[in-house]
Amino acid sequence: MRATRATRALAAVYQARPDAALSEPEVETALAQAGVAVNKVTVYRMLDRFAAAGLLHKQVDAGRVTRYALAPQGEEGAAPRFECDDCHRQFRLSQGSAKVQKALQQVLQALATAGHESLAVDVAVHGRCADCAHPAEGAAA
Ligand SMILES: [Zn+2]
């Protein structure tokens, strides 16, 4: 992948927010704030290139919005994520992830042993984020 200014800026956006699952408009805004003005087509092309390279994980949330999150690296596998049903923000769950992964590996192994192929797991926890569930407290704090 050629390290153009825009792709470096995109990498920096995700380095600054490693747990974020960003939509294209959010990425476009973040890049603009970083001083890199790129159009929608270019942002989508970069995101798809990052996804194809295995750096980003592409997912569609409950609101049918395509979001891109940092792909879990190495043994980590699919990190569980939390999605707020109100504002559709997504967070990767790092706490307790190892235990979930271990359990998932066992499930996958059992399925593979039974002859199933190309297995993928996408774990999503749905609920309301702290901001949506307690808006007043969030403002006070
Ligand atoms: Zn929310």
> Could you tell me the distance, in angstroms and rounded to a whole number, from the CA of residue 82 to the centre of ligand 1?
10
Is the domain of 115 the same as that of 129? yes
Tokens of 113: 């042993």
- For ligand 1, the distance from its centroid to the CA atom of residue 137, given in whole angstroms, is 14
Model pLDDT for residues 60-72, shown as the tens digit of each residue: 888 999 999 887 6
Does the annotation flag 16 for ligand binding?
no
The CA-atom distances, in angstroms, between 49 and each of 43, 98, 120 are: 10, 28, 21
Domain end among 71, 86, 102:
71
Distance 134 CA to ligand 1 centre (A): 9
CA of 25 to the centre of ligand 1 (A): 18
Residues 89, 53, single domain; the answer is no
For residue 96, which phi and psi values (nearest 5 degrees)? 75, 0
pLDDT tens for 118-134 read 666 677 789 999 999 98
Domain limits for position 85 = 74-141
Backbone angles phi and psi of 92, in degrees to 5? -80, 140
- Judge whether 55 and 37 are in contact, CB under 8 Å: no
Distance 115 CA to ligand 1 centre (A): 40
The residue-averaged pLDDT of 20-28 equals: 94
Out of 9, 37, 71, pick the residue that ends a domain: 71
State the total domains in the chain: 2
Q: How far is the CA of 106 from the centre of ligand 1 (A)?
A: 32
Nearest to 72 by CA among 80, 82, 83: 80
Residue 87, marked binder: yes
Confidence of residue 75 (pLDDT cuts 50, 70, 90): very low
- Output the 3-class SS for 118-141: CCCCCCEEEECCHHHHCHHHHHHC
**In a shared domain, residues 132 and 79:** yes
**End position of a domain, from candidates 71, 87, 109:** 71
- pLDDT tens across 39-48, in order? 999 999 999 9
The rounded Å distance from CA 56 to ligand 1 centre is 23
The answer to the question of whether 39 is labelled as a binding residue is no
93 is in an annotated binding site: no
